[in-house]
Amino acid sequence: MKKKVFSIGNLKTEVVFTDSDSCLDFRGDSSIYIFDTNTRPLFTLPPEANIIVLPAGEIHKNWQSIDTVCSSALDAGLSRDSIMIGIGGGVVCDVTGLSASLFMRGTGLVFVPTTLLAMTDAALGGKTGFDYRGYKNILGTFYPAKEIRICPSVLATLPDKEFKSGLAEVIKHALLRDRELLSLLINEKEKIIRRDPIILADVIEKSLGVKGWYVEHDFLEKGIRTHLNFGHTFGHALESVMGFERITHGEAVMWGIKTALKTGIVLGETDKSWEEEVNEIIRLYGYKTDYQNTVNPEEIISAIAFDKKKKKDHVRFVLQHTYADTFTMPLSHDVLKHVLAPVT
- In the chain, % of residues over pLDDT 70: 97
3-class secondary structure for 62-78?
Answer: CHHHHHHHHHHHHHCCC
Which one has a higher pLDDT value, 133 or 261? 261
What is the DSSP secondary structure assignment for residue 58, as one 8-state letter? G
CATH 1.20.1090.10 domain position(s) in the chain: 230-339
pLDDT score of 26 more than 90: no
Q: Is domain 230-339 given the CATH code 1.20.1090.10 in the classification?
A: yes
Q: For 77-89, write each residue's pLDDT tens digit.
A: 999 999 999 999 9
CATH 3.40.50.1970 domain position(s) in the chain: 3-157
Most distant CA atoms of the chain, gap in Å: 62
Which top CATH class is 3-157? alpha beta
Positions of E strands within the chain: 3-8, 11-17, 31-36, 51-54, 83-88, 108-113, 130-132, 135-139, 147-150, 316-322, 325-330
Q: For 157-204, write each residue's pLDDT tens digit.
A: 999 999 999 999 999 999 999 999 999 999 999 999 999 989 999 999
Q: Could you tell me which of 247, 222, 228 has the C-alpha nearest to residue 237? A: 247
CA distance 271 to 9: 35
Average pLDDT over residues 323-344: 94
Specify burial of residue 229 (Cβ count, 10 A radius: 0-12, 13-18, 19+).
buried
Give me the residues paired with residue 320 across strands: 326
Residue 309 pLDDT level (bands cut at 50, 70, 90): low
The reported pTM is: 0.92
